[in-house]
Amino acid sequence: MGGAFLAAAVLARVGARIGLPTIPLFILAGILLGPHTPGFVLVSDPHEMEMLSALGLVLLLFYLGLEFHMDDLKAGGRRMALSGGTYLALNVGAGLGFGFALGWGTSEALVLAGVLGISSSAIVTKVLVDTGRLGNAETKPILGIIVVEDIFLALYLAALQPILSGADSLGSAVLDGGKAFAFLLLLALAARFGTRIVSRLFDTRDDELLVISFLGAAVFMAGVSEWFGVADAIGAFMVGLMLGSTTSGPRILKLVHPLRDAFGAMFFFAFGLSIDPGDLPTVLWPVLAAVAVTLVMNVLAGLGAARIYGFGPGPAANISTTLLARGEFALILATMAAVAGLDERLSPFIAGYVLVLAVLGPLAAGRSGWLARILPGGRAAERAAEPRESTPVG
């Protein structure tokens, strides 16, 4: 574990000198020191890092919930649902069509719909932090889309599980989906109406007690969420949403910061451990085609969200590039597909696709101005922002 932290830190320091984001470097550290790459192997079994990785994801989404205030959720509910629905319709629809076009099978197409359709909440959170855009106006629709994706994710997984397991009981699938939706509804009601009670429970001047309390609440609720068939990270997100509106919210935000950075790095490192570079050449062309489809769909979804919120080409480019990365959810689907005995090409395809977008996403987000220039109205907005030369008088 110490070697993993140090390896991630060394590569991140090297990358910072040449302007690279930390996320792909943490992933690269995992690839280089994992069991699938020749040379020194630091971690022979990726499952050894599983708990650290899960904790990193929980803390990343908990932090995201702290930043996403209930007032923002209440004020932009309709637009959030519309922009999130648009994003899912474009990307999940394109993913399903792409899956059928590959001809690997119906179950495989349903898996690829989720792989291509849903962004990485962890990477999106890290990109927003690294680029310093948490306070930007377009961050609200970005976070709104993430919330809509997480709700969709719970229902999608509940519906997909019986299909992959070969179950023919529609009632069982409906029951699982209903259980997940009911739990999400309960969490939303608690976040909406339980702020005063939660504020009293967490009210303490002792930083040590506060850290233990919020960390225990976030991790415990993540475990309960998973038991109800909801992604564990959404439970942590909802806890952050509740605590962010309490009197202790600003202190919690400050105290969780170093924990988020440290264990977030382990999440991306563990992701790198799971990638076998030797499998990637066999699915190179499908991966590149899928990346191209995702790029196009994200630009269209970014333009749609910007129009819903009345933003210009700059925010539209930020939305498109920030939501580009795919990550933890795609890996969950890869594991489910392998257990279900689906097409063997599916796992290396998902690994290659996620790796390319995990690297490309943060890089594109940091250079979103290039995309803004070629979007409709981009050139005009750029000229309007340029300082005008003063005209001599007389």
pLDDT digits (tens, 9 = 90+) for 206-265: 999 999 999 999 999 989 888 877 767 778 888 888 888 888 888 999 999 899 888 988
Task: Give the amino acid at 300.
Answer: L
- 60-69 burial: b if 16+ Cβ within 10 Å, else e: bbbbbbbbbb
Rounded to whole angstroms, the Cα distance separating 27 from 269 reads: 5
How is residue 207 written in tokens?
A: 């930083």
Q: How far separated are the first and last CA of the chain, in Å rounded?
A: 72
CATH fold for the domain made of 54-169+176-262+284-374: Na+/H+ antiporter like fold (1.20.1530)
Residue 225 has what pLDDT? 84
Task: Give the amino acid at 280.
Answer: L
- Name the average pLDDT for the chain: 83
Residue 217 has what pLDDT? 93
Closest CA to 45 of 57, 35, 59, 30: 35
Residues of the chain with pLDDT under 70: 19-21, 68-76, 154, 158, 161-162, 165-174, 176-177, 231, 378-394
Would you say 243 and 199 are in contact if contact means Cβ atoms under 8 Å apart?
no
DSSP state of 277: G
Rounded to whole angstroms, the Cα distance separating 49 from 270 reads: 6
How is residue 363 written in tokens?
A: 């890089």
Q: State the CB neighbour count (10 A cutoff) for residue 341.
A: 10
Would you say 54 and 210 are in contact if contact means Cβ atoms under 8 Å apart?
no
With the CA atoms of 245, 239, 114 and 327 taken in that order, what torsion angle do they form, in degrees rounded to the nearest 10? 90
How is residue 236 written in tokens?
A: 């942590």
Rounded to whole angstroms, the Cα distance separating 170 from 300 reads: 35
Handedness of CA 60, 61, 65, 67 (dihedral sign): positive
Rounded to whole angstroms, the Cα distance separating 349 from 352 reads: 5
Q: What is the largest CA-CA distance in the chain?
A: 86
Residue 379 has what pLDDT? 62
Domain residue extents for the chain: 54-169+176-262+284-374
- Grouping H, G, I as helix, E, B as strand and the rest as coil, residue 203 is coil
Q: State the CB neighbour count (10 A cutoff) for residue 312.
A: 17
Residue 384 has what pLDDT? 56
Q: How far is CA 257 from CA 128, 232, 262, 374, in A?
A: 14, 20, 9, 36
DSSP state of 33: T
Query: Between 346-366 and 328-339, two packed helices, what is the crossing angle to 10 degrees?
Result: 180
Which residue has tokens 């099978």? 105
How is residue 167 written in tokens?
A: 């179950």
Q: State the CB neighbour count (10 A cutoff) for residue 253.
A: 16
Rounded to whole angstroms, the Cα distance separating 206 from 241 reads: 22
Residue 394 has what pLDDT? 47
Rounded to whole angstroms, the Cα distance separating 274 from 31 reads: 8
Rounded to whole angstroms, the Cα distance separating 230 from 182 reads: 10
H-type helices in 194-248, by residue range? 195-201, 207-227, 232-244
Contacts of 302 (CB under 8 A, 6+ apart): 316, 317, 318, 319, 320, 321, 323
Residue 390 has what pLDDT? 46
